[in-house]
Structure 1
Amino acid sequence: MTEVSSQDPRLQDSMPAGAEAAASGFTQQQIEALFINAAREGDAELLASFLEAGMDPNLRAEKGYTPLILAAYNGNIDAVSALLKGGAKPDLQDEKGATALAGVAFKGNLPIARLLLEAGAGVDVPNSVGRTPLMFAVMFGRDDMAKLLLKAGACPTRRDGEGLNAQDLARRQGNTVLAGLMKQETRAAS
């Protein structure tokens, strides 16, 4: 067990930051790693402590992941809530252009998707190949998620880098019900 993992910042009077970090035995890199791990593991109480002490809620980890992306992807709704309350930006993208909403659309986590949408997450933010959260929901058979995203204003005719849209993807998978629903949504918007 490392020195960092055996110490618990919650036991200290205040979380170290900057120059105080070195004085307390933690490096800034170790503090950031603890913060990122708290997001990944869903420790909302520890996240709140870090945020209250001034930690950047939009810190970037490996592959450009933010604490919000990690908490959302791992299904940690309390951590997502704490991060959003602490100022996390819902539309920050990782190195591949994925947002927190794209991750939960892929996984089908409706409560977290609702929370992100309520916090202003962009419903049609594309990744680096042009795929939107709606496209991920369709591709992975998350019909309820697709319906939620459509109600939130997702565009079923937006095309990705391959020239496909969510309707095309639904038809390709034989999901005629969802393809029909998207076709109705498109007509209603016209």
Structure 2
Amino acid sequence: MSDASTEPQGPETVEHAHDPEVLHLAAKVFDLARHGDTDTVAAYVDAGVPANLTNDKGDSLVMLAAYHGHAATVEALLQRGADADRPNDRGQTPLAGAVFKGEDEIVKALIAHGADPSAGTPSAIETARMFEKTELLTLFGAQ
């Protein structure tokens, strides 16, 4: 009888999430989203990087692209299944971030992909009220 197993055992089973190469790749993709390199971000997601990848603060690729004003990158991620409402670790959503930054094109893209203006803390509605953005309150149905 043999004790041979087909399952890997011992130190050669490395948890990929802590692999330095994986962490380096993730950091690169986050930077690409921040800088609005839409084609490259889309190619990485198409190649298997999760559309809802988050950093150590819970910021998703959509959050980073939205906050830094990259509408095309936001749209590409949303088309690839990214969650328009995914909050970060502080409860902030991409929609509220886009309202805060005055990124109306991104606000419209997020709404078109089902973002909830009442989600998050503060919500996009609360943020729009705070900055007296009546046109966005109308868009959100929260006059």
TM-score, scaled relative to structure 1: 0.62
1:45-100: CA deviation from partner (whole Å, max 9, x where unpaired): 10111011100011111311000001011110010011111110111100110111
Deviating 4+ runs (over 4 angstroms): none
- 1:143 matched to 2:105? The reply is no
Query: Which amino acid is the alignment partner of residue 143 of structure 1?
Result: T
Secondary structure, counterpart of 1:94 in structure 2: coil
Q: Which runs of 5+ in 1 are unaligned?
A: 1-17, 155-181, 183-190
Contact 1:65 1:95 in 2 (8 A): yes
Please name the residue that 1:124 is paired with. Answer: 118
Secondary structure, counterpart of 2:57 in structure 1: helix
Task: Report how many residues are paired.
Answer: 127
* Partners of 1:126 and 1:51 in 2: CA distance: 25
Please name the residue that 2:45 is paired with. Answer: 51
Q: Identity of aligned pairs, percent? A: 32
- Ranked by relative contact order (alpha carbons within 8 Å, sequence separation 6 or more), the top structure is 2
* Partners of 1:45 and 1:126 in 2: CA distance: 29
Please name the residue that 2:80 is paired with. Answer: 86
* 1:147 positional shift: 2.3
* 1:144 positional shift: 2.3
Contact 1:108 1:145 in 2 (8 A): no
* Partners of 2:56 and 2:64 in 1: CA distance: 11
Contact 2:93 2:123 in 1 (8 A): no
Contact 1:108 1:137 in 2 (8 A): no
Secondary structure, counterpart of 2:140 in structure 1: helix
Query: What RMSD over aligned residues (CA atoms) do the two structures have, in Å?
Result: 1.9
Contact 1:48 1:82 in 2 (8 A): yes
* 1:132 positional shift: 1.6
Query: Which amino acid is the alignment partner of residue 136 of structure 2?
Result: M
Contact 1:109 1:145 in 2 (8 A): no
